Amino acid sequence: GWAITDIARLSVSDIRAWVDTVALHGREAEIARDLIPEIKGRLEFLEEVGLGYLTLDRGAPTLSGGEAQRIRLAAQLGSNLQGVCYVLDEPTIGLHARDNQFLLRALHQLSEKGNTLVVVEHDEDTIRAADHLIDIGPSAGKRGGRLVAQGSVADLTGAAESQTGRYLLHAMRHPLQARRSMASDATEKIASSALPVSAAGPKDQESAAPVRWLTVHGAHLHNLQNVTARLPLQRLVCVTGVSGSGKSTLARDVLLANVAAWVQQRSTKAGRDAMDAGNAPALTGCTGLQGFETIDRVLEVDQTPIGKTPRSCPATYIGFWDTVRKLFAETLEAKARGYAAGRFSFNTGEGRCPTCEGQGVRTIGMSFLPDVKVPCEACHGARFNPETLAVTWRGKSIGDVLRMEVDEAVDFFASMPSIAHPLQLLKDVGLGYLTLGQPSPTLSGGEAQRIKLVTELTKVRDEVGRRGQKAPHTLYVLDEPTVGLHMADVDKLIRVLHRLVDGGHSVVVIEHDLDVIAEADWIIDLGPEGGAGGGRIVAAATPEDVVRLGTHTGVALASVLARG
């Protein structure tokens, strides 16, 4: 009595329950004899990896990377193969702390069948559950690539060079700074310790306004159950919940999309006039929006690349490369040769290397094989021609500056605050190992995201420095920014998020990482389960109150807050 489309619309858990109720007789029972156990087995494997909330007709492009990976893992669990070496790259992506145990059980099942599992992972539970650990480091980029420790957890914690061992031994204590008050009539000071001395001295500290709230009414997109969510502005807010509970739907598809549309229209006089006349943008997935009036900008900071060609690099993306070019153009040698700032551009003009056209590498087509990039034989990766490289500032050519690591460049440009400040921020977020001219395509997602955050922090400093000008209030939305980040990098990321909030901005983070959640001023916890069993707000409170409420997030968070 069921159409196949009706079955496809059910979740994995619901179909498994339905299969148990199917009563077949005679010829039908003979046909289904081998099929029913097979269907049950595959559904069980999907549930074992925490995907019981997915519907069978869910479109593949709508799946997160972690969900897609766990579907492939469930397929392997059902294959009953032996002697296979599986390599998994961060399988805990998108997994709530409660669901980690599902994944670990599935991985142990695969190994017990006689298979080998190699897992690239930052998650502490997974690390502690491993039979053998291989720790690469001690740092990143050129400073990494060495085996610093291997063996058990004790071997890592006993290795002086192992950052992983250090964090396993001495976990972060929370909160890193005092929680911001949530009282509506509270006033606070912008913490000067959270911003560079040059950006916020004692005279620059101002009393923050009383807590204002951004409210989304009647959110009903996807599995959201007509919820009304209130988020405090100028605070660090975490949206949490088990996988599939509706976090991304609420924060990105409803909150971000609607606030961005309304703020965009209000940014122009014609738009304001239209809104006053009742022609506001149509709301997506909710019935009302309130409290967005103080927001001037909306920005999603994701892990997409900052550029697709070698011409893009941290120095050009953040924006201080123009200042570096002007610096070289002001030298006596440049003036004597008649060089302007345009001469020191590797994108256009006479200054760049004519062979590689300023890219530093040449791409060789390999017919049926992928293209190969090799250093330019003319400039050897310097990007400029010999005449341009002859101009030096403090003994370094413009090509030398591009090849300089951030840590070295901070000292080199110490006398130039407009260049040194963004470089210091790059160092603060743990990117001191990058070179200024590192091609954007070679950056990881986590590195690209932190470079975007540094760009925003640079704007915060510039705005604070302009007298008499109100700094635009920006709403930042980040979806799992800890993906691909080591525990040491998560520590640095948390401090960056605090700096943005201390700069007067609002930060909303969709996150499973308990260290980030423990630092939030306010948590919106969705659930209680995923899929049709989720889509409701089970807690909206401070981290300590969420622990007391005993939600899935609260239970997992209790041990982390207990460290402090």
Secondary structure string (H, E, C) spanning 384-453:
ECHHHHCCEECCEEHHHHHCCEHHHHHHHCCCCHHHHHHHHHHHHCCCCCCECCCCHHHCCHHHHHHHHH
What SS3 state is found at 79?
coil
Interstrand relation of 85-89 and 116-120 (parallel, antiparallel or unpaired) = parallel
CA-CA distances (angstroms) from residue 485 to 133, 294, 491, 503? 17, 33, 10, 24
556/293 Cα distance (integer angstroms): 36
pLDDT at residue number 466 = 53
- 309-361 per-position pLDDT tens digit: 888 999 999 999 999 999 999 999 999 999 999 999 999 889 999 999 999 99
Cα–Cα nearest to 74, from 98, 106, 37, 102: 106
- pLDDT at residue 219 is higher than 60: yes
Q: Yes or no: say if 18 and 9 are a contact pair by the CB < 8 Å rule.
A: no
- pLDDT at residue 209 is higher than 70: no
pLDDT at residue number 282 = 94
- Look at 2-16, 178-192, 380-394 and tell me which has the smallest mean pLDDT: 178-192
Average pLDDT of the residues in 261-273: 91
Tokens representing 562? 């207990």
* Averaged confidence pLDDT in the chain: 90
CA-CA distances (angstroms) from residue 561 to 148, 428, 537? 30, 25, 22
Q: How confident is the model at residue 190 (pLDDT cuts 50, 70, 90)?
A: very low
Residue 447 C-alpha from the chain's centroid: 9
Q: Yes or no: say if 477 and 301 are a contact pair by the CB < 8 Å rule.
A: yes
- pLDDT at residue 307 is higher than 80: yes
- The amino acid at residue 390 is A
- pLDDT at residue 532 is higher than 70: yes
**Residues belonging to the chain:** 564
Average pLDDT of the residues in 181-190: 54
Average pLDDT of the residues in 441-467: 81
- Look at 53-57, 198-202, 459-463 and tell me which has the smallest mean pLDDT: 198-202
Q: Yes or no: say if 48 and 76 are a contact pair by the CB < 8 Å rule.
A: no
Q: What is the CA radius of gyration of the chain?
A: 27
- 140-156 per-position pLDDT tens digit: 888 999 999 999 999 99
- Look at 118-127, 334-343, 366-375, 422-431 and tell me which has the smallest mean pLDDT: 366-375
Bridge partners, 135 (sequence order): 149
pLDDT at residue number 285 = 96
Which residue in this structure is represented by tokens 């992928």? Answer: 370
Identify the DSSP state of 61.
Answer: G
pLDDT at residue number 462 = 56
Identify the DSSP state of 471.
Answer: P
pLDDT at residue number 470 = 65
Tokens representing 347? 């994108």
257-266 and 269-276 helices, crossing angle to 10°: 110
- 484-500 per-position pLDDT tens digit: 899 999 999 999 999 99
Q: How many CB atoms lie within 10 A of CB 3?
A: 8
Average pLDDT of the residues in 409-430: 95
pLDDT at residue number 198 = 30
Q: Yes or no: say if 236 and 509 are a contact pair by the CB < 8 Å rule.
A: yes
> Greater confidence, 168 or 468?
168
Q: Which helix (H) or strand (E) holds 198?
A: none
Q: How confident is the model at residue 368 (pLDDT cuts 50, 70, 90)?
A: confident
Mapping DSSP onto H, E and C, the string for 265-321 reads HHCCHHHHHHHHCCCCCCCCCCCEEECCCCCCEEEECCCCCCCCCCCCCHHHHHCCH
- pLDDT at residue 46 is higher than 70: yes
pLDDT at residue number 469 = 61
- pLDDT at residue 207 is higher than 60: no
> Greater confidence, 137 or 1?
137
Q: How confident is the model at residue 201 (pLDDT cuts 50, 70, 90)?
A: very low
> Greater confidence, 206 or 477?
477
Average pLDDT of the residues in 512-532: 95
Which residues fall within 8 angstroms of residue 404, CB to CB, at 6 or more apart?
A: 396, 412, 435, 436
pLDDT at residue number 255 = 97
- Look at 128-137, 256-265, 407-416, 442-451 and tell me which has the smallest mean pLDDT: 442-451
52/529 Cα distance (integer angstroms): 10
pLDDT at residue number 463 = 53
Q: How large a percentage of the chain has pLDDT more than 90? A: 72
What SS3 state is found at 375?
strand
